[in-house]
Amino acid sequence: MFGEFLNIVFKSIKLDKSLYSDNKNFGEASVYFAGLIMILDGIAGAVAANTVIKTAVAMSGLTSILTWLVWAIFIYVIGVKLFPDKKTNVPFKKVLTAVGFAHAPGLLRFFAVTPNMMIPIIFLTQFWIFAGLIISTKQILGLKSNLKSFGIVFLSFLIIAFLSISFVMSRMNMLPVNQIS
């Protein structure tokens, strides 16, 4: 079981598209493996951020689960419901699992042990995750075009970024600093 998990992690890090086209990787335990990858990804991000600012590690693990669900929902809605190809007929669980697998490069954030290494490793792993999401989206949705896969992932990212910024900005208006005149 642990060997199967490591195989999924290594294939994801290598950006191996066979990870997403082989149905044996989407068995009973796959969603748990994807969830574990997401939790470890969140913890790795918190560990990396702790080299500069103090971050709640447990909260980062929980936040990564929410992020996982949001990414999967947007990729599913945009790729399966709004802009499907003729062969696109995928259950949400498979999209959810693939999004989790695609986040495996984020585990490399555990190596950001000094402040000088944090920003380069976080940027590198974020682009790596983005590439993994493009590959996974193309494979699981059966898309013919890399550009369409990129578009689905990028549109999902833009929506998530807009919602995140809106959420943060709305919370900033509630800060006591804004009440000072």
What's the pLDDT tens digit per position in 98-132? 999 999 999 998 888 777 888 888 899 999 999 99
Burial of 97 (0-12, 13-18, 19+ CB in 10 A): buried
DSSP state of 160: H
Residue 48 above 80 pLDDT? Answer: no
More confident call, 174 vs 67: 67
Taking alpha carbons only, the member of 65, 44, 71 closest to residue 55 is 44
Q: Yes or no: say if 37 and 102 are a contact pair by the CB < 8 Å rule.
A: no
Q: What is the pLDDT of residues 69-96, one digit of tens each?
A: 999 999 999 999 999 888 888 999 999 9
pTM of the model: 0.86
Q: How far apart are CA 179 and CA 156, in angstroms?
A: 35
Radius of gyration of the chain (CA): 17
Task: Using alpha carbons only, give the angle 166, 102, 167 rounded to the nearest 5 degrees.
Answer: 10
